[in-house]
Chains A and B, each alone.
Chain A
Amino acid sequence: MSLRRLPEQPREWIDRGQSLRFDFEGRSYDGFAGDTLTSALAAHGVHVLGRSFKYHRPRGICSLANHDVNALVQNGSNTNVRADVLELAAGASYRAVNTFGGLARDRARLLDRFGAFLPVGFYYKTFHRPRRWFPFFERRMRALAGLGAIRPDAPRRRTPKRYDFCDVLVIGAGPSGLAAATAAADCGAKAVVVDEQRRPGGSLNYQCVAGPGSENDAADLLRQAASRSNVDIRPDTVAAGCYADCFVALVDAKRLTKMRARSIVMATGAFEQPAVFGNNDLPGVILATAAQRLIHLFAVRPFDRCVVLAANSDGYRAALDLAGAGVRVAAIVDLRPDGETGALADEVSRAKIRTCVSHAVYQAIPAAGLRGIRAAVVCPLAADGTPEPQQAFDIACDGIAMSVGWAPADGPFCQAGGRMQWSDALQQFVPRSAPEGIFVAGRLNGIYALDDRILDGRRAGLAAAAFLGLHSAPLPPEVARPAASPNHPYPIVPHPHAKSFVDLDEDVQYKDLVHSVQEGFDQVELAKRYSTFGMGPSQGKLANTNAMRIIARANGKTVAETGVPRSRPFFHPVPLAHLAGRGFHPQRRTPLHERHVQAGAVFMPAGDWLRPAYYAPEGERRAQAIRAEALAVRSAVGLIDIGTLGKLEIIGPDAAAFLERVYTGKFANLPVGAMRYALACDESGVIIDDGTVARLADDRFYVTTTTTASASVYREMQRWAIIWKLNVTIANVTGSFAGVNVAGPLSRRILQTLTDADCSAGAIPYQAVRSATVAGVTARLMRVGFVGELGYEIHVPAYGARRVWDALVDAGRPHGIRPFGVEAQRLLRLEKGHVIVSQDTDGLTNPFEAQLAWAVKSDKPFFVGGRSLEILKRKPLSRKLVGFTLATEDLREREAVQECHLIIAGGHIAGRVTSIGCSAVLGQTIGLAYVRPEMAAVGSPLSIRVDDGRMVPATVARTPFYDPKNERQTLAYCC
């Protein structure tokens, strides 16, 4: 039976009709449906919920609001789950993370005693010498660091992402947010309200519950909003990241939703901030709102006897709530010199609660094993706010509730581009400027009184509607910010001996920040990274404001001068499963994909495409298969799917003139029915692509590009066409046409059986293009020689590709036709010394370096890169692409050389290998490499450094390696 469960509370979230049993750290407890793990444990008087990150000190409730990570648990395969907001599940078993041997007997707790040896930035200073010991310490520190454990066997969860749209997105379902949504909806806007809490209402659910009319206010606000059909309220949904143009990532339990709003009302509220004093991290030291959440939402009595540390009226209300819940409030320790006046002070007085005005809690005295507290050390404050510990006195208590101020939850606002500025009057940041379409309301706007927050929300909702053109009447006047600040300017009373924490996530103490400044990390972003404040999972929600105050004071500056760390998405950590979601990785397949699969293709990615690297139908090894495919092309006939090549149609009266400008070659004089190699450079003369240009008619050209460049070349051509104002139409028909290349001495014989065209050398000479039908499919036949044999590219409408492929395979079967993949094609073209753009060129290669000067026709008026190439032509080359053969018989050495290995000369880098392959037809390993020009003469020795550091000898060789006179691809011989 729970010891601390209160009688039914008016707005509690628990269902007393459903009792649940669960395990925590191996012990069994019960709770109610609707309890969080933390609240259920608190109901049993369990205070220690976790261990701290660095010192492994016991930690308990702090905010009970997902704003700290004192209580992180492993929940099955889910790790680092926040117990404060984790709804209890029947039969579940939870364990605290970051312990060695369990929460109670955590062996790493000894680290707390060695705090003096772990100063701020210790890992930058220690364990680095002697150097050989660093790996040892690194492993130890890595083992100690981190929180929960990832289970690689965790079941995969479906977390599809979703897009969504609305007129007004309201972030925060508190009084301001609900009022804003209602106002916007009444103007006709479709409003979506999101809130990270389980139920809408915001602070009205737990604050002011006992106050006059508050319950009705909350219910009324909610009822009004919910009654609008165009208001969609989504609790348990975090606005995890806010981006430009009102694009917001919403995270709920199931998925990530990408919300595209037309306008946003930020009503994100404020985080209650802790005070800094000795042992302020121990279980029992909690925020006043956490105590109120325990009482009102979960019907749990937080303490038996407590001290309330206050610096505003909220603290007095919390003291009354605690008293109402049966807690003996030993004292309200008020940091303010004048304390509270008015009705609340009277009520506290009537409740016989002692008040210690202008006093501070100096230290919490730990209970045994730091598992809680047994007293608060209270001391008066001098007129300048400094503590006077010589007059300190103890107040016995098992809890301290802190209510010393607020910090705006400005993360989403700043992520969206909003700017904040420090308000001396309010002692908090307030909005300075908001991006277009974004409006703020409520505590984020520095408005604290309930009525004012509702008015401010309505004003923001109407402003959003007006922005959308849905509201034309004048907006209500701005709501004035309060004259009296609810935020203490410096709720920090560091203790000289006891640890005084600023950031509970990262165990950052007051002295760490002071030392950071002393060591020169005096800017807020530097101090953040050096001390790690604000870098934990809570992103500084409870730490940043106090840290800035401390850094400002240590620098002798104001907080306004000190600034605030930049807020970045995500607002809360987002499960990786949500981020991964359903992956969309578009993949292109040629129409022949299924045929490749049936032929035993081993695929490789090429941009978005999957291409057969080689075919291993009966388990052939890679090298064996590539060799056999290459030999088939050299000796008989092979067939390759070239449908991935980019294919463009350039149409119009200025088509030829356009191509003359885009490519380095000449095309105006290209006869209809002929084709030509085409090389494209950018304005600086760097090679960007190559392909072929075939003239189909006077005003119509068919252009191929490399596989991966089709989209970029198409875009670039469109850009140039607009700039040059030429009468030309460009169509990207890459997907509309499939292509196969049938190559080898028998290719003509096979093709001739399938086409109505005359395939003789006279009818289709080298570099000719003809229209024909192949296997009944309309086709474009292009006589090519990329692999150095008689060959025809057959381009057909994609729908007919499989028929053509099947026909070629059938017709070629008696002749030993064999499909070949990209690897064999690379080898075959290497034997010919043909360059592959982007493999044998890089982002700086010009045609002169790549031995492609022959493709540059400078005697034409203009082409892209022409002027740069003219300049480059007059300069000496810094490198040159050459062929080479390996000058070693050692098979291991030959196989060790790979693309991108470096050429070394005199101990320095003198070039690199771009292509390498073992040629069966030549019986040697051949390659292409960039070398210094003085090393490019045929016969020059090269030295290639392979992965293990060995040097493999090579010799510069003449290209083409195979068929140097190009007789096999160009001559009219026919088998």
Chain B
Amino acid sequence: MLDTPLRLSPLHEAIEGLRPTWGELHHMPVASRFADATNERAQAEKLALCDASALPRTTLKGPGAADVLRGVDVPAAIFGVTVFDHGGLVARTGAAELFVEDGPGGGTVASLTSALDHGPAGVYEVPRQDASLLLSGTQAAEVLLETCGYDFRQPAGQLVMTRVAGVSCAVLARRLNGIRAFQLWLDGTYGVYLWETLLEIVREARGDVVGLAVFYPELAN
């Protein structure tokens, strides 16, 4: 009897040794928390690292990409971002390229995938199996200063394509459940390396790992 989950985070091997409380999201085990909720929130507000890879995401390519997202305020400017009510977002990553991510309860990505199965000509879905990290707290920018040559202390609101610890990443400064955080998306094959690198720095600064439920309380249930 095969008990390996259908989907595993690129960071799973790094996280399972930290003994989290597991939840599940879209058939993927999710580290929903590592400590009690109060402590995790305090940690997240100070400095914390979290695996957000389980959130569904996709990229649409093609001149009609924006048309597929009916009813969504698609950003006009490249690297512009629109955040959905449920925590998801759509970012324009090119003139004819959109990146879409859902929050835990969102269904945009699933509906897009379904729609594109018989979809309009000239719009293509590119699979995304990213590692996604949340680096949160008041000291998070300081961690990025040690690892990234971009000044994240500037006013945010746009997706930033940069390198963090030598890895190409898309980074977005955002606020999740009232907590300031930087969300990083990267090629999943670099995920363990970047997780371990950032976690070493985070822990030197007395930060720690937190579960995804800190940022998406609905996962706590």
On A, residues with C-beta under 8 Å from B are 158, 160-165, 258, 260, 582, 584-591, 593-594, 608-609, 643, 649, 651-652, 700, 729, 731, 733-737, 775-777, 797-803, 806-807, 810
Q: List 9 A-B contacts (CB under 8 A).
A: A586-B194, A591-B188, A651-B124, A652-B124, A735-B130, A735-B187, A735-B190, A737-B127, A798-B188
Q: Which of A163, A584, A733 contacts B127 (CB 8 A)?
A: A733
Whether A734 lies near B187 (C-beta < 8 A) is yes
Most chain B CB within a 10 A radius of its CB, from A164, A582, A593, A807: A582
Question: Min CB distance, B13 to chain A, in Å?
Answer: 4
Give the distance to chain A from B144, nearest Cβ to Cβ, in Å. Answer: 8
Residues on B with beta carbons closer than 8 Å to the beta carbon of A775: 2
Instruction: Report chain A residues within 8 Å CB of B150.
Output: 163
At the interface, yes or no: B139 with Cβ under 8 Å from chain A?
Answer: no
Whether B62 pairs with A162 at a CB distance below 8 angstroms is no
Closest 10 CB pairs of A and B: A735-B187, A799-B7, A798-B129, A588-B189, A584-B166, A165-B151, A594-B13, A736-B129, A803-B4, A731-B126
B145 with A802: CB separation less than 8 A: no
Q: Do B13 and A729 touch across chains, with their CB atoms under 8 A apart?
A: no
Whether B70 is near chain A, meaning CB under 8 Å from some CB there, is no
Residues B189 and A734 in contact, CB atoms below 8 Å apart: yes
Verify A776–B6 contact, CB threshold 8 A.
yes
- Indicate if B136 sits at the interface (CB-CB under 8 A): no
Interface residues of B (CB under 8 A from A): 2, 4-10, 12-13, 28, 59, 61-62, 124, 126-130, 145-151, 153, 165-167, 187-190, 192-194, 197, 201, 204
**What are the residues of chain A within 8 A of B165 when measuring CB–CB?**
584, 586
Question: In the bound complex, do residue A800 and residue B61 qualify as a contact, i.e. CB atoms below 8 Å apart?
Answer: no
By beta carbon, the residue of chain A nearest B94 is A729
- Nearest neighbor of B16 in chain A, beta-carbon distance: A594
In the complex, given contacts A260-B149, A736-B126, A777-B6, what are 11 additional A-B residue pairs having Cβ atoms less than 8 angstroms apart? Answer: A165-B151, A585-B166, A589-B189, A609-B189, A652-B124, A734-B189, A735-B130, A736-B188, A798-B10, A799-B129, A806-B4
Whether the Cβ atoms of A158 and B61 lie closer than 8 Å is: no
Known contacts A163-B145, A731-B126, A798-B129; A588 and B10 CB within 8 A of each other:
no
Contact A731 B61 (CB under 8 A): yes
Closest to A776 in B: B6
**Complex CA distance for A608 and B165, rounded to whole angstroms:** 14
Interchain CB contact under 8 A, B193 and A589: yes
Interface of A is mostly: mixed
Cβ–Cβ contact A797 & B10, under 8 A: no
Say whether A799 contacts B153, CB under 8 Å.
no
For residue A797, which residue of chain B has the nearest CB? B129
Q: How far is the CA of A405 from the CA of B124 in the complex (A)?
A: 72
CB contacts (< 8 Å) of A734 on chain B: these are: 187, 189
B61 adjacent to A651 (CB under 8 Å): yes
CB distance from B187 to the nearest CB of A (A): 4
Check if A164 sits within 8 Å of B4, measured CB to CB: no
Q: Are B127 and A591 in contact (CB under 8 A)?
A: no
Chain A residues whose CB sits within 8 angstroms of the CB of B188 once the complex forms: 591, 735-736, 798-799
* Residues in chain B near residue A591, CB distance under 8 A: 8, 10, 188-189
CB neighbours (8 Å) of A737 from chain B are 127, 129
Q: Determine how close the nearest CB of chain B comes to the CB of A702; give it in whole angstroms.
A: 11
Task: From known contacts A737-B127, A798-B129, infer whether A161 and B166 are also in contact, taking CB-CB under 8 Å.
Answer: no
Within the complex, the shortest CB–CB distance from B145 to chain A, in Å, comes to: 5
Question: In whole Å, how far is A647's beta carbon from the nearest beta carbon of chain B?
Answer: 10
- Whether the pair B146, A163 counts as a contact (CB closer than 8 A) is yes
Closest residue of chain A to B127 (Cβ to Cβ) is: A736
Q: How far is the CA of A729 from the CA of B65 in the complex (A)?
A: 13
Which residues on the A side are within 8 Å of B61 (C-beta)?
Answer: 651, 729, 731
B-side contacts of A590, CB under 8 Å:
189
Whether A588 and B193, one on each chain, are in contact in the complex, defined by CB atoms closer than 8 angstroms, is: yes
Q: Are B2 and A807 in contact (CB under 8 A)?
A: yes
Q: A731–B129 Cα gap in the complex (Å)?
A: 13
Q: Are A160 and B127 in contact (CB under 8 A)?
A: no
Shortest C-beta distance, A47 to chain B (Å), equals 44
Residues of A within 8 A of B59 (CB): 731
Which residues does chain B contribute within 8 Å of A651, judged by CB atoms?
61, 124
A649–B146 CB distance below 8 A? no
Q: How far is the CA of A119 from the CA of B128 in the complex (A)?
A: 69
Q: Is the CB of A582 within 8 A of B4?
A: no
Asked if A736 contacts B128 (CB within 8 A), the reply is yes
A729 nearest in chain B by CB position: B61
Q: A800 to B151, Cβ gap below 8 A?
A: no
Contact B127 A803 (CB under 8 A): no
Point out the residues of chain B lying under 8 angstroms from A801, CB to CB.
Answer: 8
* Contact indicator A160/B146 (Cβ below 8 Å): yes
Q: B146 to chain A: which residues have CB within 8 Å?
A: 160-163, 582
Bound: A798/B8 CA distance, A: 8
Closest residue of chain B to A810 (Cβ to Cβ) is B2
User: Of B8, B149, B190, which contacts A588 at CB under 8 A?
Assistant: B190
Q: Are A802 and B151 in contact (CB under 8 A)?
A: no
**A803-B145 contact given A165-B153, A590-B189, A736-B188, CB 8 Å threshold:** no
Q: Which residues of B contact A609 (CB under 8 A)?
A: 189
Q: Which residue of A lies closest to B150 (CB)?
A: A163
Give the distance in Å from the alpha carbon of A734 to the alpha carbon of B9 in the complex: 16
With known contacts A588-B189, A651-B61, A797–B127 Cβ distance under 8 A: yes
Distance, CA A386 to CA B109, complexed state (A): 88
Docked pose: A231 CA to B101 CA in angstroms: 41
Chain B residues near A582 (CB, 8 Å)? Answer: 146, 201
A582 vs B148: C-alpha distance in the bound complex, in angstroms? 13
Nearest-Cβ distance from residue B184 to partner chain A, whole angstroms: 14
Tell me the bound Cα distance from A810 to B1 in angstroms.
Answer: 9
B residues in contact with A797, CB < 8 Å: 7, 127, 129
Contact partner, A803, options B5, B10, B124, B130, Cβ 8 Å: B5
Which A residues are CB-close (under 8 A) to B197? Answer: 584
- Known A160-B146, A163-B148; judge A589-B153 contact (CB<8 A): no
Report yes or no: B190 in contact with A586, Cβ–Cβ below 8 A: yes
Among B28, B167, B192, B193, which residue has its beta carbon within 8 angstroms of that of A799?
B28
- Check A803–B147 contact: CB distance below 8 A: no
Tell me the complex Cα distance, A729–B193, Å: 30
Cα of A161 to Cα of B143 in the assembled complex, Å: 11
> Would you call B190 and A258 a contact (CB within 8 A)?
no
Shortest distance from the beta carbon of A974 to any chain B beta carbon, whole Å: 25
Bound-state CA distance A775–B8 (Å) is 14
- B residues in contact with A649, CB < 8 Å: 126
Residue of A nearest to B131 (CB): A735
Q: In whole angstroms, how far apart are the Cα atoms of A513 and B130 in the complex?
A: 63
Chain A contacts of B189 at CB under 8 A? 588-591, 609, 643, 734-735, 798
Q: How far is the CA of A729 from the CA of B121 in the complex (A)?
A: 13
Interchain CA distance A590-B187 in the complex, whole Å: 11
Which B-chain residue is minimally distant from A730 (CB atoms)?
B61
Complex Cα spacing A797 to B150, Å: 31
Partner of B204, one of A158, A608, A806: A158
On whether the beta carbons of A586 and B166 are closer than 8 Å, the reply is yes
Kindly name the residue among B12, B151, B188 whose own CB sees the greatest number of chain A CB atoms within 10 A. B188
Q: How far is the CA of A588 from the CA of B187 in the complex (A)?
A: 9
CA distance A609 to B146 in the complex (A): 24
Residues of chain A contacted by B127 (CB below 8 angstroms): 733, 736-737, 797
Tell me whether B192 and A593 are in contact (CB under 8 A). Answer: yes
Distance between B2 CB and nearest chain A CB, rounded to angstroms = 5
CB distance from A571 to the nearest CB of B (A): 22
Residues on B with beta carbons closer than 8 Å to the beta carbon of A810: 2
User: Chain A residue with minimal CB distance to B149?
Assistant: A163
Please tell me which one of the listed residues A162, A800, A806 contacts residue B7 in the complex, with CB atoms under 8 A apart. A800
**In the assembly, what is the distance between CA of A807 and CA of B147, in Å?**
39
Bound complex: CA of A652 vs CA of B63, how far in Å? Answer: 11
For residue B6, give the distance in angstroms from its CB to the closest CB of chain A. Answer: 6
B87 to chain A, nearest CB (A): 20
Q: Tell me whether A586 and B193 are in contact (CB under 8 A).
A: yes
Specify which of B62, B127, B189 lies most central, judged by the most chain A CB atoms within 10 Å of its CB.
B189
- Chain B residues with Cβ below 8 Å from A729 are 61-62, 124
Residues of B within 8 A of A584 (CB): 147, 165-166, 197
Q: Pick the contact of B192 from A589, A735, A777 — CB < 8 Å? A: A589
